Structure 1
Amino acid sequence: MEFYMKLPRSKKEFVLFIGVISILSVNIIAPIITCFELGFHLGVWADTLRVIPFIWLSVVALVLLTYRPADWMTGQIVDKDDSFNAHIVVNILCTVFLMSVFLTVIGTWIGSRQISLEPIRLFFYKWPRNFAISFAVEALFSQPIARLVMRKLHEHRDKQPD
């Protein structure tokens, strides 16, 4: 029942679900990671706000590219009969793993406004921190809010007469 109430049932709902998650995540994760990189100053935060739309576009594109591989990875780890929470946590783990690998490089390129080998060279130094921040935000904030939105939407629609 939780799968039915807390997850998208249609393509329109999937767009809403991804929209809620991506907007919340990008507006939290990008400033935190940038401030860890450059320092916690108002100017750093303001500069991050200028590139967030570009980071958001790359996040949406990567979600669409990594959705099926993350779903496949989740299926390899959890059993069909495992709980809703087990499926969700493992899916978040797989999705964040794939997204953080790409965004550790691409996000740096967008944020620094240049393509260089620097994020690739420093990948194994920066990726664990980026993964941990992203996983915490997704698991504790963005995804629970998106699932709450889905549940409220479904409760509202289910109460309406056909």
Structure 2
Amino acid sequence: MSDNPFHTHLPRNPKEFVAFMLVIAVISVNTIPVVIGGLTAGFTVAMWTDLLRVMPVLLVTVVAVVLLTMKPAHMLTARLVRPGDSFRAHMILNALCSVLLISLVMTVVGTWIGTQRVSTEPLEQFAHLWPRNCTIAFLVEALLAQPVARQVMRRHHQRVDARAAVTAA
């Protein structure tokens, strides 16, 4: 057990990390592209069904990009927070750093996946697209995906810790 009172809110081992990341990725991939696609092409059933077709590819891509940007995001976060900063400060800044890096990649790659064609359009429109996409992604991550994933971890750890306490008694 850790001295950190929020130890129950974060994954403790690789198996829990995978579950934590999948909760965040599933929420994000089912929310962020829908909002971005709706703002780009209009909120229609056709837009939503087109997105449903590419969701599996988006999910795999997002997980890969998260894994590739995780270490740089942690390094950037470590430069911004101090040991005495609150858990929430660490989580918000980590979400911001992660989203910043992930959104740089996904603004281009996500557009290619969503339109099902590789073009220079997302590169040409990057300065217009990226701030909006980054803001939407950050809001979804900070207000929905990560809090839900931390709550899932907290409830899981409450059950695990209760079983361990009964076994130890």
Alignment TM-score > 0.5, same fold = yes
Describe the superposition over 1:12-48 as per-residue Cα deviations: whole angstroms up to 9, x where unpaired. 0000000000000100001111111111111111111
What is residue 14 of structure 2 aligned with on the other side?
11
- Shift of the alpha carbon at 1:81? 1.6
Between the aligned partners of 1:130 and 1:19, the Cα distance in structure 2 is 21
- The RMSD of aligned alpha carbons is 0.8
What is residue 155 of structure 1 aligned with on the other side?
158
Task: Please state if 1:139 is matched with 2:142.
Answer: yes
Q: How does 1:5-44 map to 2 (within 5 A)?
A: 5-44=8-47
What is residue 50 of structure 1 aligned with on the other side?
53
The number of residues matched between the two structures is 162
Q: Could you tell me the TM-score, scaled by structure 1's length?
A: 0.98
Task: Please state if 1:126 is matched with 2:129.
Answer: yes
Task: Please state if 1:113 is matched with 2:116.
Answer: yes
What is residue 100 of structure 2 aligned with on the other side?
97
Between the aligned partners of 1:68 and 1:22, the Cα distance in structure 2 is 17
Between the aligned partners of 1:66 and 1:151, the Cα distance in structure 2 is 25
Note the residue ranges of structure 2 that are not aligned, 5 or more in a row: none
Note the residue ranges of structure 1 that are not aligned, 5 or more in a row: none
- Which amino acid in structure 2 is aligned with residue 27 of structure 1? N
What is residue 71 of structure 1 aligned with on the other side?
74
Describe the superposition over 1:65-100 as per-residue Cα deviations: whole angstroms up to 9, x where unpaired. 011100000000000121100000000000000010
Q: Could you tell me the TM-score, scaled by structure 2's length?
A: 0.94
Structure with the greater alpha carbon radius of gyration: 2
Q: Structure 1 residues 149 and 102, CA, compared in 2 at 3 Å: closer, same or farther? A: same
- Shift of the alpha carbon at 1:3? 3.4
